[in-house]
Amino acid sequence: METGPAFESKRRRVPAMAPEERREALIAATIPLLHAHGTDVSTRQIASAAGVAEGTIFGVFESKSQLVVCSLVKALDPQPTLDALAAIDRGAGLRQRVAEAAEIVHNRFIEGAHLMHAARRLFFETAPDAGAQQRMADSRQRMHEAVVEIFEADVDLLRIPPDRAARLLLLHCGANAFGPFGDPEEFRGTDLATLLLDGILIKDDKRGDRTTC
């Protein structure tokens, strides 16, 4: 092991992180642990993953709970999903745009499903947090608005308003990700686009309009 004045000088030259940088580094280390262990992750595990002493956490966060909340908020930040939705080619046909949007939204729900459950329990039940609750509501609204834009360019082709069409897409993606009858491995954006835009009846078959006693 290297020792002596030269080593001590080298160690002193390593710049310390600013508080905000340290916070971001701890959050970055915590997010994968939340995926693996949920909100039961320990400060010891976080410190080990971040390569710092356990006490360092409490130099920039008031408690483990505050770090977990900040990490959940960061992990569930909708911006990457919003960016992906915004990047869909608006010149493509409606069917293609809807299929791509469905894949993007569904992937977000699947990747963050257990974190969303954990956040809801934490923010609404275990340690109610009005600010975090509002951020979750804002995220849902921003997601909804981004999907509405997918439909708006072809509003003249729709029997329902783009707002309602977007809700149906989000509802189906959410049910497939979180519901008891979902099958994430079998999900296809093209299938959902067909369901939303065409329904499930064969168009020249009128039997679906019959009523029975």
Q: What is the DSSP secondary-structure string of 66-104?
A: HHHHHHHHHHT--HHHHHHHHTS-TTS-HHHHHHHHHHH
pTM metric for this prediction: 0.80
Dihedral angle, C-alpha 22, 27, 30, 34, nearest 10 °: 170
pLDDT of residue 11: 38
Of the chain, the percentage scoring pLDDT greater than 90 comes to: 60
Considering only 33-37, 137-141, 167-171, 207-211, which range has the smallest mean pLDDT?
Answer: 207-211
CB atoms inside a 10 Å sphere around CB 125: 8
Which pLDDT tens digit goes with each residue over 151-173? Answer: 999 999 999 999 999 999 999 99
Largest CA distance in the chain: 94
> In the structure, what pLDDT confidence band is assigned to residue 122 with cuts at 50, 70 and 90?
confident
Q: Which residue has the higher pLDDT, 13 or 61?
A: 61
pLDDT of residue 163: 97
pLDDT of residue 205: 57
